[in-house]
Structure 1
């Protein structure tokens, strides 16, 4: 079974932190990550050293995490070197090690240049729940959040068509079983205790967000995402 590195991808506020934390419970080594944050009770499970690298790649093409590029982005030699420098810290970790930063979802080209055997796993979440979470955290209008959600998830499907990987619905009733199945495929221990996810992590449902006629702009994409999920 492959023990290649793993990247957890998906739209912001879509359960990527929870998925990374659960996979860590099953044996995925995440390295030096954030374990506490104001909007993530157990931390976002991200290595902050990746943030400036990803932000610089995005900024160079006039983008940002909340204004994502809708086309693939080629990385410069200096950006690749920066990524390699951070990943040097992971060389001593037992495989499989993993990383998580939602920004990577829309700029994965550089990651595959540096880690050709990188495997992916994704978390998806109902767009209105994401919009509700971004409204609470960032004050974003629903229309803005739904637009960002669409770009990230189109990128997710772009890569899934090219490098098949498991997709986990954050609100699936059998979430734990889905994560354990995906974890086994990644070479992790599917029978290990998985205490990371608890009910108090989910603060936003798919209700209570006024999206009026905008539903037609995301309904088809959400159906496609759901069809790919375990």
Structure 2
């Protein structure tokens, strides 16, 4: 079996992917998927993310006129004919994934590209997701990339909205970053139980003593994703209150119902979140993405209209041909012959049977 780890940037996906890899593969590296992204100052223990998957997702986002830090608002139509043909041509980029039976990989960009990757791999890979408080994600993105608070919160909101509203199956389980790194053993143990259950479903042949392996991984100093920063983002009170209330609802939903209603929660929060983050004249921040999506839709509409016009012309030509055939002398003679046959032949056939 294979597994994708999903979640927004700076949400603990590297931590979770490392835990799962060590629980299943022990201390083996991920060479079976090709080289991983090199370690960096912000992820000293490694990203647990294959370079081939990351580069593919960057290409897919560029097709949609987006990037990892400027996600699209409107989901691309990955099932459009020309797009599907292009996705098929990209299959060789994931040769390691296609030729290996057992692997665990992650890339936050999968929140946006998972439907396209499913077309490339010809299967819907089982997934597990991790969520982190939006303000903590914004703090971490500020420290690593220098992003403004509104931009960071937009990334968090759009990533998680698309994660739970894509065409692919929902994640089997959703974890909270705060519970995974918590010093409260009850929260840590609840995460261990969920992870053990998930691994037993996806890797049944490796289902022995997983809880102890997971606990050992959690104690190996992998908490580098915990921001631990008191940097003040300077958000206005209304925006802060909105995201704190949203996170409280999400945390309750995850802990009580395992996130079954998160698609609805993020769909309902998206318009209000955008109004907080992009008020008035600030909407052009994503204006070029909206324009790109509009161009794609207008191009597809024009193609459809052209195809309809061509079909109408062909139908008119066929109608004219049919009318010409009906007005021809041969057609009239054939029709007269049929009427004569009905009058002369059918009564004889009935008489013979009698």
TM class by shorter-chain length? 0.7 to 0.9
186-195 vs 52-61, which deviates more?
A: 186-195
Instruction: Point out where structure 2 has 5 or more consecutive residues left out of the alignment.
Output: 259-354
Corresponding position of 2:254: 228
Bigger Rg, structure 1 or 2: 2
Matches within 5 A, 1:198-209: 198=221, 200-205=223-228, 207-209=230-232
Contact 1:129/1:204 (8 A) holds in 2: yes
Aligned with residue 24 of structure 2, among 27, 34, 56: 27
Change (3 A) 1:47 1:215: same
How many pairs were matched up? 225
Secondary structure of residue in 2 paired with 1:193: helix
Alignment of 1:149 onto 2:173? no
**Deviation per residue, 1:13-55 (Å, 9 max, x gap):** 0000001000001116853323622210111111112223211
Secondary structure of residue in 2 paired with 1:64: coil
Corresponding position of 1:78: 86
**Deviation per residue, 1:96-148 (Å, 9 max, x gap):** x2221111111111122234231111111111111111111001121211111
Contact 2:7/2:130 (8 A) holds in 1: yes
Q: Which has the higher contact order (CA 8 A, sep 6+)?
A: 1
Q: Larger % of helix: which?
A: 2
Aligned with residue 218 of structure 1, among 243, 250, 269: 243
Corresponding position of 2:62: 59
Secondary structure of residue in 2 paired with 1:20: helix
Secondary structure of residue in 1 paired with 2:175: strand
Matches within 5 A, 1:90-109: 90-95=97-102, 97-109=103-115
Aligned with residue 193 of structure 1, among 203, 209, 213: 213
Change (3 A) 1:71 1:108: farther
So what's the TM-score if we normalise by structure 2? 0.57
Secondary structure of residue in 2 paired with 1:123: strand
Change (3 A) 1:162 1:61: same
Equivalent-residue separation in structure 1 for 2:166 and 2:245 (angstroms): 18
So what's the TM-score if we normalise by structure 1? 0.84
